[in-house]
Amino acid sequence: MLLLTAAILVTVIAFAAGIKPLAEGKLGPAEMLKFMLLAVPPMLAYAVPFAAGFAATLAYHRMSQDNEAIAAHAGGVSHRSLLVPALASGLVLAGVMGVLNEQVIPRFLRSMEQLITQDLTKMMVGSIRRGEPLNIGDLHLHADSVEVRDPASDPRVASTGATDWLVLNGVVFIETTRSGEIRNEVVVQQAPVLFMQGPREDGSEGTTAWVYPRQGVGIRGEEGLVVFDELRPIPLAVPNAFEDDPKFLTFGELAGLRDEPDQMGFIRTRSRDLAHHLAERATTELISGELSRAQRARVDRGGEPLVIRASSIHWDPRELMWRLTPPPGQATVVIDRRRGPQQTLTELRAERAWLYTDLRTDDQGIDLTLSLRLEDVTTRDANDIESVGQREEILLENIRPNRDPLPPLLNLSADELLARAAPKVDVENPDLFLIGPVVELRKRLSRLEREILSKQHERLAMAVAAFVMVLTGSVVALRLREASTLTVYLWSFFPALGSIIVISAGQQATHDRGAIGLFLLWSGVAVPAGYALFAYMRLRKH
CA distance 182 to 174: 7
Residue 384's pLDDT band, with cuts at 50, 70 and 90, is low
pTM tops 0.75: no
**Which residues does 354 contact at the CB level (< 8 Å), separation at least 6?**
316, 319, 321, 322, 323, 324, 372, 373
Q: What is the pLDDT of residue 287?
A: 85
Q: What is the pLDDT of residue 241?
A: 47
Beta bridge partners of residue 336, listed in sequence order: 307, 347
Decide: helix, strand or coil at residue 137: coil
Residue 100 identity (one-letter amino acid): L
CA distance 541 to 475: 13
The yes-or-no verdict on residue 279 having pLDDT over 90 is no
In the chain, where the domains are located? 124-242, 278-412
**Which residues does 72 contact at the CB level (< 8 Å), separation at least 6?**
81, 82
The yes-or-no verdict on residue 364 having pLDDT over 50 is no
| Average pLDDT of the segment spanning 230-240 | 67
Residue 67's pLDDT band, with cuts at 50, 70 and 90, is confident
Q: What is the pLDDT of residue 98?
A: 86
Beta bridge partners of residue 379, listed in sequence order: 348, 389
Q: What is the pLDDT of residue 215?
A: 75
Beta bridge partners of residue 441, listed in sequence order: none
What integer best gives the mean pLDDT of the chain? 80
Q: What is the pLDDT of residue 388?
A: 66
Nearest to 210 by CA among 219, 220, 221, 200: 200
The yes-or-no verdict on residue 448 having pLDDT over 60 is yes
Distance set, CA 387 to CA 341, 381, 456, 528 (Å): 19, 6, 72, 88
| Average pLDDT of the segment spanning 164-188 | 79
Q: Tell me: the pLDDT tens digits for 201-211?
A: 555 556 777 88
Residue 363's pLDDT band, with cuts at 50, 70 and 90, is very low
Q: What is the pLDDT of residue 469?
A: 87
Q: Tell me: the pLDDT tens digits for 389-421?
A: 788 888 888 887 767 787 788 888 899 999 999
Phi, psi angles (nearest 5°) of residue 403: -145, 140
Q: What is the pLDDT of residue 362?
A: 45
| Average pLDDT of the segment spanning 457-485 | 86
CA distance 267 to 275: 12
Q: Which of 135-144, 241-250, 449-458, 485-494 has the lowest mean pLDDT?
A: 241-250
SS (H, E, C) 40-60: HHHHHHHHHHHHHHHHHHHHH
CA distance 190 to 230: 10
Decide: helix, strand or coil at residue 3: helix
| Average pLDDT of the segment spanning 345-363 | 75
Q: What is the pLDDT of residue 242?
A: 46
